[in-house]
Structure 1
């Protein structure tokens, strides 16, 4: 089959683009299904999903159903006569009739974690927020239970201690695209072997909420560092400083052993050229990039040119209620 394999591709955000590009290069993509255009940005302009823009560049027909399992769309998809369905961060639940629509009788999914760890919608952010040092990508057969289908291929990778969720998502999107191509070749050559997941080891993640970006300065420095990394690009970790809500885009773990036992967590205990050093519940952390309200992110040196930060100043926790 190989190059003649006809693929119906489901995806919406930017992370799906490398997979679409690779699948389009190696196989025949008969259609791209993505979520509808939505208001976006400060001015809430109606904006197409990133995958739609890419599909149109590639000359692939685009479908944007409000209800993907609607019989009208099922008929449209049948008329495309796909051999296989591929899902990469589509963001909608596919019912059984749609899952069995391709000629091969199933749809595969690229999931950015080492299943069964972190089933759900935010595996990349959650891995960082929880301090994981390893993650990866999984190609699996979609089942009716969320992210519980049989696994075809997996590939693992280490998470760097300073890697943000945004950086990791980009890296996994490239890894996943390559693994997806391998998977489709195996399927086309009738060499695919699917292995059931160990459901007893399953862990779950949920949609990231804005409140998860609140910096709790009484927590250990490592936990705060993970919060900053895991909350990029959204919601971006935030704290209160001199009656303003400011966002922290970059921090640095420090190895200094001075305890500052008599100092409140969140207090600036030292100033260096490229950061201020802040006491936490356990250890010290360097704050290296900040963003004032309605301003762009700045390095520490750039920030203090307009808004001084001094030893003894205190970063305070924002209430979850505002």
Structure 2
């Protein structure tokens, strides 16, 4: 599998928030998870290119309408009340456009069979949602540097546009996007309700090896681009006399115990809603806190 470094990476979305406010409270730091978990990763990268390519088109041109829709969007994916569709079709637009752009540029420039490694837009997923965290695809990273041209810090030794003006290729991919999505959702972009991605806590691990029964799979309607465990530690907090404060959330729960009769532990899936709502729970680090919050105690006597 190819990997690619450069100016396009998911971490930039986190860096951007931290640069806006270098000093954060614990609550503000935790909220970075919420803000970045719903952020489309390609909008910031390619919107300037799309705007430049369509600036001379009339507002009635479908390609301009697609880009105007992206321009009005903040890049945050939020669910509709139906729990199945996005409030805004931005990611669907970028998915189809990127797929077409990659086919016309990066994929066309790479010989078979390696070309297929660069065709993914980064939005592809199974019915149950992604199997891990999403990042900008390798092909999209290469395309991003290509559209920067001379502004890219990476010398562009290969003309991915095959001698064609960049604008021509961008507009052709937008035409593909309009044809695909208008057939699926109609001619009024504001009415498009595109499918949202789900989040599934799978019974298989990331190697595909079963580690639980299939019926133990758990679903969440909204995919959140984050780890399934989030932790935060504050040293020398000004809001407490304790030297350290800590929180975490570990979905679905911190106990995988199932009794022989099928009864699951009470902490088996009690953090699903906490996770879905970007909540967290305190970790008790001092003897006093442990004593105050313990649910049970068992003493082991060792015979010597």
Question: What TM-score do the two structures reach when normalised by structure 2?
Answer: 0.30
By relative contact order (CA 8 Å, sep 6+), the higher-ranking structure is 2
Of the two, which has the highest radius of gyration?
2
